[in-house]
Amino acid sequence: MTTLCLQTAAEVALVGELSDSIRVVVWDGAGEPPPNIADVDLFVASYMEPPVPDEALARMSRLRVIQVLSAGVEAWLPRVPPGVMLCNGRGVHGGSTAELAVAGVTSLLRELPRWHEAQRAHEWVDAATDGSDGKRVVIIGSGDIGRRIGSALAAFGADVIYVNRSGHDGAHALSELPSLLPDAGVVILALPLTDESRGLVDARFLAAMPDGAILANIARGKLVDTDALLAQLSSGRLSAFLDVTDPEPLPADHPLWDAPNLLLTPHIGGGTRGWDERAYRLVREQVLRLDAGVPLTNVVVG
């Protein structure tokens, strides 16, 4: 018998019918757990919610897998019990997050905020804008989301270059960034938050980007030094599209709200309607694999 633990009854309906060899229990880590909580094999972490307390995980003494529904797993990495596998939500939010990144970058290149203001003022202004064709785009992060972004922008004629930690899969290594940034019209962050990547985009990084370049962050806010970015935006030298910020949520009095040359969205990259159906199709696949003794997908730890 394989036991799956979900946190709400709504998730049970999303997973759908399972084989008789799979038992489902519902517990959100608060209050008294169900009697068979010790038998849980696979625990599903709710999307965009804080991780359950360590003591809740400790009650799952037979736990083999933690399935996270986001692409990022930094909140879970230090909390995975020894011998437990951690899997992420790779593929669940890839299309929607890449779509938003392309929309944000394209909006800045084609100056859509400017045309929106002209529309409100009833002004018909004929002017040329920038575009993707021939633009050097450096995408830092060559996973599912980064590759989807690159494929879309390449279709518009962009010269796409991928960067990852070690330079595998045909990408450049992070160590090569100093030679890549001066020619980058657009830099897009699509990499995980780790000790190595935290604060990657600092004052020196931004200073290496050419005048008029765009920085887009659809990964994690802590990849970017917010004060350094504010200085570049305020000077008018760079523009930015941010779906994530540091701090987050962004306080109402934070200067980023009023920064010039900035397009800002409130961490909505994965939040398209239907995301939950995609996510729980993955959960269903994973628990069926576990029950059948087949290797799981999206393994980050284990």
Supply the mean pLDDT for the chain: 95
Q: Give the whole-number percent of the chain exceeding pLDDT 90.
A: 88
* Distance, first Cα to last Cα, the chain: 22
Assess whether 220 carries a catalytic annotation.
Answer: yes
Assess whether 284 carries a catalytic annotation.
Answer: no
Q: Pick from 287, 302, 286: which is nearest to 3 by CA?
A: 287
48, pLDDT greater than 80: no
- Residue of 49, 117, 248, 277 with catalytic role: 248
For residues 104 and 137, the answer to whether their CB atoms sit within 8 Å is: no
Residue 124 has which token pair?
């018909």
50, pLDDT greater than 80: no
282, pLDDT greater than 90: yes
Which residue reads 């003794």 in tokens?
Answer: 293
Q: pLDDT value at position 119?
A: 96
Confidence of residue 156 (pLDDT cuts 50, 70, 90): very high
pLDDT in tens, 227-254: 999 999 999 999 999 999 999 999 999 9
- Residue of 93, 136, 147, 220 with catalytic role: 220
* pTM value > 0.85: yes
Task: Show the domains of the chain with their CATH numbers.
Answer: 2-92+273-301 (3.40.50.720), 94-264 (3.40.50.720)
Ramachandran angles phi, psi of 158, nearest 5°? -70, 150
Q: Which residues of 190-224 are buried (b: 16+ CB within 10 A; e: fewer)?
A: bbbbeeebeebbeeebbebbeeebbbbbbbbbbbb
Assess whether 111 carries a catalytic annotation.
Answer: no
For residues 90 and 190, the answer to whether their CB atoms sit within 8 Å is: no
- Residue of 59, 267, 281, 284 with catalytic role: 267
CA distance linking residue 282 with residue 140, whole number of Å: 26
Q: pLDDT value at position 191?
A: 95
